[in-house]
Amino acid sequence: MKRALLISCLLLTGCGQNMTDQPKNQQYEPSALFRDGKSLLAPVAGTVAREDVAHDQATTHKPRLTAALLARGHQQFDVFCSPCHARTGEGNGMVVQRGMPSPPSYHIDRLRSADDQHFFDVITNGYGAMYPYAARVAPRDRWAIVAYIRALQLSQNAKLDDVPEQERAKLLAEAPP
């Protein structure tokens, strides 16, 4: 019995509030530690980031627009985006036809005037009912999808004269009579 009481007392001494009541400064709280009274200091000039540098560069540096990038964007768009947005970008994909909420069309003025980073961020973090695709779509593929979305937007108001001569001949040959 004495042994159980001794063990209980030892265990209870470890239940103090020391870990939750730590002496620390909250952000923007005045501090006596530094002469200027700040508790947060700016990094020293020349400080180099150590975490996720490759990720940050991939998310902020758009690749150069090429035919290969557009082809990759088309392929990735068909896989990840067309179930909801449809292959035309109108927002009436097969998921919507089965009762899910309709996403906005890429062809509305608000999205036509949005910058490329907006589309990249929405693919990365999601928006509204859209799930984030950061873990599913690599940053380079996200930029490819953005390029393809821009091509879809341009295609809606394109005239035959806008198409290069070589491609125009192919289109006319493939057109139904």
Give every CB contact of residue 91 below 8 A, 6+ residues apart in sequence: 84, 85, 102, 103, 104, 105, 106
- How far apart CA 13 and CA 1 sit, in angstroms, is 19
- How far apart CA 62 and CA 29 sit, in angstroms, is 39
Helix, strand or coil for residue 88? coil
Q: Do the Cβ atoms of 117 and 94 come closer than 8 Å?
A: no
- In the predicted model, what is the mean pLDDT of residues 120-126? 94
For 169, the token pair is 């001949």
What is the band of 17 on the pLDDT scale with cuts at 50, 70, 90?
A: low
Domain spans of the chain, in order of start: 61-156
The residue assigned the tokens 């035309």 is 88
Least confident of 5-19, 37-51, 102-116, 159-173: 5-19
- How far apart CA 60 and CA 97 sit, in angstroms, is 35
- pLDDT tens-digit readout, 24-78: 777 677 887 778 888 777 888 888 777 665 566 666 778 999 999 999 999 999 9
CATH code reported for the domain at 61-156: 1.10.760.10
- 1 to 7, 11, 12, 130: CA distances (angstroms): 10, 15, 17, 61
User: Whole-model pTM above 0.85?
Assistant: no
pLDDT of residue 56: 61
What is the band of 106 on the pLDDT scale with cuts at 50, 70, 90?
A: very high
- DSSP structural state of residue 130: B
